Structure 1
Amino acid sequence: MRVAFSIFAAPLRFSPSQCCWARMPIGRTWLLALALLAGRGEAQRCNPELQGVAHNLAKGRPAYQSSLYPHPIVGAASKAVDGNCSGEWYTDGSCTHTGFEMEPWWYVDLGDQYAISAVVVKNRGDCCGERLQGAQIRVGDSVADHGKSSPLCGTITDTRLGSVSTLYCNWLKGRYVSIRIPGRAECLHVCEVEVYGTKPEDTFWERIKVPRVLHGGIRDSAGSTEASLLNSRMLILWALLLVLALLAGSGESQSCKPIPGGNNLAKYRPACQSSTFAYEIIGLANKAVDEICDGDFYHGSCTHTNGENNPWWYVDLGAEYAIAAMVVKNREDCCGERLKGAEVRVGNSISDHGKSNPLCGNITDGSNGSISTLYCKWMRGRYVSIHIPRQSVALTLCEVEVYGLTSENEC
């Protein structure tokens, strides 16, 4: 039995088969717990996946950097938290810029300690994007060394002009988020930094207050060993673990590209395709929405049509949504080039399998195992479809994730 949960649609969905869905109401307690993790709604510009579902903790906060590049366009540290995601240093003047120096740094003061889910960094778009290569993102409670010794969240590897890097911090706790280029002399410039997270006490495990295990036995935070307190807390813990196991589904489940504060609307939804390749591993349409991001077709979690003219695949989201972004995982054991040029469309009609619905974008990366993210700019629709136009080829998808909001909640 597979179970999916949606913050916006708010049902638990049970799927005994591809086209048979039942619903049951979910308790307000779970909605509240997950909403706390998602954060407050606020429109964002650098990462459209987060628009309307997460709050940028860094926006407008005090920021500092190692030096200021002498130029009529002032690259002050505060330019990275001004809410302007333009990557144009010369024309828009909304990027930071240090002097050329050894290990330049920048940091923002969030004003309080937070458990950080993700940090989004926008690179300069007009030139010099390679300067950000290897920049370290750190989170901690001290800036005695400008954050250099704080725990590492991640390292920036995408230095394309105007690139947007999202680094997932696994709830590292800290008041300060810093960026440093280690081990070399360089200019540091960033055009926007967004930070997402929640207060540590609002994270799920802090709220259930699980009793601590000590050498002298199991005790609560105050040291009490009363049996009734222990039994009640353990009962709550086991109940929550059971529900979490149901929500998690298969142990192999994973997201191709985790979205902080986002919910995959396509997960376990009914899917259809133009044909099914007859082979020892059946590439059914629903293999693209099973939450298994394995790209090896022979492991059994990818779709596969026959080789045919204009093959297609689509998923029924069950209602109209405003779609922010889509993530498509390509096959990785071979044949990734088949997906190059595929059209991704969003709309409310499947009279022609979605072929006439508005275009969200085209897949341009045909490398084996590629993960393509397409931003749909809040296009509205119930159906998301993928077509390979004007070719006779097999269509294979190893996972499709769809992120958005119910239309009435669009920001």
Structure 2
Amino acid sequence: MAITGGYGFLGWHTACRLRALHGVEPVRLGREDLVDPQRLASSLEGVDTVLHVAGVNRADTDTEVEAGNVQAARALADAIRASGRAIDVVYANSVQAELDNPYGRGKAQAASVLADACTGTGGHFADLLLPNLFGEHGRPGYNSFVATFAHEVAGGRTPTVTGDREIDLLHAQDAAAALIDAAGQDVRTVVSGEAITIGSVLGLFQEFHELYAERGEIPDVSTRMRLNLFNTYRAAAFAGAPAAAPQVHSDNRGDLFETVRSHGGTGMAYASTTRPGQKRGEHYHLHKIERFVVVKGRAEIQLRRLLHDDVVTLEVSGDRPVFVDMPTLWVHNIRNVGDDDLLTVFWADQLLDPQNPDQFPETIAQEARA
């Protein structure tokens, strides 16, 4: 399986989901692959399904937006015909394909180009019309207003809403699931999102910021939209954010402090001891919120964004407890770097479901991509 636009927002989410739930390492194709016919042909050798996610939604002119989507589709269509094989295509189209604007016209024409190529070679073509997408690590000012609001609010700024209206939103992981499930089908369908006003999105981010950034508390994440928006906010807030510290109450008996204050939804707490030199974790989550609080000993926590190489390392100690929350789609572990047993308290927003634990093994160490 291959993904065009594999290093972009939706492409990255789709590659992560394929790895987590299907054990598939897709061929990830970037912009440079689509402009080089020989390189594209070589990349598609042995590929039986292409998820066509690549597209242009921002450019200097409307003409470039419209033409860019058509050109990307033609490059893929030419490569499919040149392969001499039946290659299935799942197209990440847009609901705007039914509107008369440059982006919509370009997306609609691209669908026709890809459908013709699949029909001519015997492959299946699935045309999925997606609504507005949001999720972790969207680019502010580019992918959606949600990414922009998350970035601004996480940075302590106060954006405003002009022309508030209701918009259908779909989390990128749900869009990825729809694309993967459509492989091998001949279908044209509109993928539904959830209607929410622009002002409500901003209001939720401001609520999250007040509770989470300023007080270290977990907001109400009892609905799917709240959880997905909170994880989107956390992704924007993670880089460079100081770890929140609890208020410690001390007397002659010792110390007492809260590790989690949650405002809604399910949750479970648990604790572990870890011997010197040993580590726990080496996994990631798609949706789960997970908090680490070291209450005794010294530890090193490492995090790496899935399908990336850079590692973030945090030193924590029970002498000064702090909250360290694991971002979704980041591999993480915790290692005892002290001389005594490490005592760690954990909290997750999900009750453990052994059949669907939302926990996928992956090591922090990774060879650089070829």
Q: What is the TM-score of this pair, normalised by structure 1?
A: 0.27
Structure (1/2) with the larger helix percentage? 2
Higher RCO structure, 1 or 2 (CA under 8 Å, sep 6+)? 1
Q: What is the TM-score of this pair, normalised by structure 2?
A: 0.29
Structure (1/2) with the larger strand percentage? 1
